[in-house]
């Protein structure tokens, strides 16, 4: 759906870049203050792909690992594990985003990754 927004902007059908706006609203932010304003991003970030090949390989990976897990688990258990992994990964990402230990000291990289 967001690729349609990008196509409409590229063909100058619409003037506002909805692709960038949609990515910023649906993606999981690193800082906690922005996350409080958009809590839905804890679930929506896992279904958001910036490139079509990323979407293709995510679907392929989910299909292949899902078939392996379905040999061991039932469908309901697989969905529970998948949802739990999404939530745990998002919480860990938010937690690590609060630490300034992971910010690089070089000016160019720190301005991009650590906000200045």
Q: What is the pLDDT along the chain (116 residues), one digit of tens a residue?
A: 666 766 776 777 777 777 777 788 888 988 888 899 999 999 888 888 877 888 899 999 999 999 999 999 899 999 999 999 999 999 999 988 888 765 554 444 444 555 54
Tokens matching residue 19: 């692709």
Residue matched to tokens 């040999």:
71
Say what the pLDDT of residue 17 is: 72
Residue 77: predicted pLDDT: 93
The pTM (predicted TM-score) of the whole model is: 0.70
CA atoms 99, 101, 102, 105: torsion sign:
positive
Q: What is the pLDDT of residue 97?
A: 83
CA 29 to chain centre: 9
């Amino acid at each position: 759906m967001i690729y349609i927004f990008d196509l409409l902007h590229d063909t100058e059908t619409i003037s506002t870049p909805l692709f960038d706006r949609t990515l910023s609203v649906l993606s999981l932010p690193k800082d906690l203050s922005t996350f409080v304003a958009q809590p839905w991003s804890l679930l929506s970030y896992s279904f958001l792909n910036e490139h079509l090949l990323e979407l293709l390989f995510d679907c392929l990976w989910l299909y292949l690992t899902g078939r392996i897990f379905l040999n061991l688990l039932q469908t309901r258990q697989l969905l529970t594990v998948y949802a739990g992994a999404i939530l745990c990964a998002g919480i860990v990402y938010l937690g690590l985003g609060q630490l300034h230990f992971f910010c690089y000291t070089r000016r160019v990289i720190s301005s991009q990754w650590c906000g200045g």
